[in-house]
Amino acid sequence: MALPGMRLSGPVPTETAAVPGSFLYHDDVLHCDGAPVPDLAARYGTPLYIYSEASILDRVRSLDQAFEPLDRLLAYSVKANGNLSILRTLARAGCGADIVSGGELYRALRAGVPADRIVFSGVGKSRAELEQALAAEILCFNVESEGELRELADVGREAGRAAPVALRINPDIESPTPHAYTRTGHRATKFGIPSEEAFRLYGLAAELEGIVPIGIDAHIGSQIVDPEPYRLSLLHLLDLVERLRQDGLALELLDLGGGFGVSYDEALDPPPESFAERIVPHLATSGLRLILEPGRYLVGHAGMLVTRVLYVKAMGAKTFIITDAGMTDLLRPSHYSSIHRVDPVRKELDREVRRVDIVGPICETGDFLALDRDLPLPEPGDLLGIHTAGAYGFTMASTYNARPRAAEVLVAGDKARLIRRRETYDDLIRGEEELLLE
Ligand code: LLP
């Protein structure tokens, strides 16, 4: 393909081990573990989400082991990737679930997550959702306001069953995350209860008939690679726990939330030990059970979005690679300016490297997957792999522009299994068609 443009860098690198996990080149072809990505794209079509079971299990194992000295529960945050087969894989590996809606409760239970390993987070739980979760006998409700506490107490009283409660404390900690939208631990956000109100609300929780306070909770944000904010958050919670104990209220659970970050580029991920060593010593003799709510850390690297190049278009100084996936499939680049590594699925060693924007088919200027990226210039029909798309990829997908959502595939070894079929046009109009007026 002879388009005008500068050669910006040298030959294509021959090995990619840059993003940890399961997507590596063998003979210049990207594989998911033992499965060649081009074969999967041919079989299941594009855009396609591909996940590695081995990667997920490996992350669960290493994170869990890092916290080995403690009584602990990894309550996987379902919002990162709620596919039933992914949830079942995690449940079988011993994980519980952190849910934020009745829909996520439904998914977690359907996938086989034991109810007594489910914690319910979120700032706006409806009465119906509280009722459903109480009836399911979940482990704990992470309550975020006095209003919610009273509502839940009412639900518990009516049901004749006391709801187990942790208060989500806002520890007022500035956690460095790549985007303001993923910071939740400081006062300017809607999340949690200010510490100075905690005492009064624990007192209220102990008095109200339909609830029983059993824990304390915080979640300071998402995509945090520095372990120090976790230590600060933990010390903040432990201080409250101690004062409550002196007041006669003994708590059993301490939930430190999720947010452990991963690297989206060439840097190494923070090892799980880096978080554990700031947390474990403070809890070792506390008698508290630790709950963590990791999402991205467990499934982020396990997923790749595979897209096919439709057109290559030069406009002035810019070259646009137009792909069949866009912001409707992977919203993160557009919504958070996040940078996902993109690799050609087949390395064509003779291609010149060009600085390109990789853009989707959606009618929005903000519809892009990568901007100003140096890439061996692809041709129409080529496949591109977008790394670290296992978390907040499919779950944030939409059908905007009436585009059916992608298929999802789970790879175990060299075997691939469809775990969500590609949506059809009929899926798009379900719920409307039968209501059409003649
Ligand atoms: N627990 C709570 C209460 C949360 O709000 C979240 C994420 C998690 C756990 C899991 O966080 P993780 O371990 O996955 O970082 N859509 C954004 C991330 C928003 C996360 C919202 N809450 C993204 O694509 O980066």
| Digit-coded pLDDT (tens) for 31-58 | 999 999 999 999 999 999 999 999 999 9
What would the pLDDT profile of 58-77 be if each residue is shown by its tens digit? 999 999 999 999 999 999 99
Inform me whether the pLDDT recorded for 187 exceeds 80: no
Distance 119 CA to ligand 1 centre (A): 14
pLDDT of residue 416: 98
The yes-or-no answer on residue 363 being catalytic is yes
pLDDT of residue 175: 75
**Packing angle of the helix pair 84-92, 102-111 (nearest 10 deg):** 60
Distance 98 CA to ligand 1 centre (A): 10
User: In the structure encoding, which two tokens stand for residue 209, read together?
Assistant: 């008939």
* Residue of 79, 291, 301 to test ligand 1 pocket, by largest number of atoms within 8 Å of CB: 79
80 Cβ inside 6 Å of ligand 1: yes
**Which pTM value belongs to this model?**
0.94
* Mean pLDDT taken over the chain: 93
From the CA of 182, give the closest atom in ligand 1. Answer: 19
Q: Which domains does the chain have, with CATH numbers?
A: 23-52+301-429 (2.40.37.10), 67-297 (3.20.20.10)
**Cα–Cα separations (whole angstroms), residue 227 to 222, 232, 265, 288, 293:** 12, 9, 19, 20, 15
**Residue nearest ligand 1's atom 16 by CA:** 392
Average pLDDT over residues 227-256: 97
**Residue nearest ligand 1's atom 22 by CA:** 222
Inform me whether the pLDDT recorded for 156 exceeds 80: yes
**Residue nearest ligand 1's atom 8 by CA:** 258
Confidence of residue 5 (pLDDT cuts 50, 70, 90): very low
Residues 6+ apart with CB under 8 A from 104: 78, 79, 82, 97
**Cα–Cα separations (whole angstroms), residue 346 to 12, 267, 349:** 11, 23, 9
For the chain, percent of residues with pLDDT exceeding 70: 94
Inform me whether the pLDDT recorded for 17 exceeds 50: no
Average pLDDT over residues 350-366: 96
168 Cβ inside 6 Å of ligand 1: no
Confidence of residue 438 (pLDDT cuts 50, 70, 90): confident
pLDDT of residue 1: 32
275 Cβ inside 6 Å of ligand 1: no
What would the pLDDT profile of 242-275 be if each residue is shown by its tens digit? 999 999 999 999 999 999 999 997 668 889 999 9
Inform me whether the pLDDT recorded for 410 exceeds 80: yes
121 Cβ inside 6 Å of ligand 1: yes
From the CA of 100, give the closest atom in ligand 1. Answer: 3
Distance CA 30, CA 237 (A): 45
Confidence of residue 111 (pLDDT cuts 50, 70, 90): very high
Distance 246 CA to ligand 1 centre (A): 33
For the chain, percent of residues with pLDDT exceeding 90: 87
164 Cβ inside 6 Å of ligand 1: no
Confidence of residue 181 (pLDDT cuts 50, 70, 90): confident
Distance, C-alpha 312 to centroid of its chain: 32
Inform me whether the pLDDT recorded for 10 exceeds 70: no
* Residue of 77, 90, 179, 334 to test ligand 1 pocket, by largest number of atoms within 8 Å of CB: 77
Distance CA 373, CA 357 (A): 6
Inform me whether the pLDDT recorded for 9 exceeds 50: no
Residues 6+ apart with CB under 8 A from 26: 36
Distance 323 CA to ligand 1 centre (A): 28
Confidence of residue 20 (pLDDT cuts 50, 70, 90): low
Distance CA 119, CA 166 (A): 9
Of 161-170, 180-189, 343-352, which range is least confident? 180-189
User: In the structure encoding, which two tokens stand for residue 362, read together?
Assistant: 């959606």
Inform me whether the pLDDT recorded for 14 exceeds 70: no
pLDDT of residue 151: 98
Average pLDDT over residues 334-359: 96
What would the pLDDT profile of 388-402 be if each residue is shown by its tens digit? 999 999 999 999 999
Confidence of residue 2 (pLDDT cuts 50, 70, 90): very low
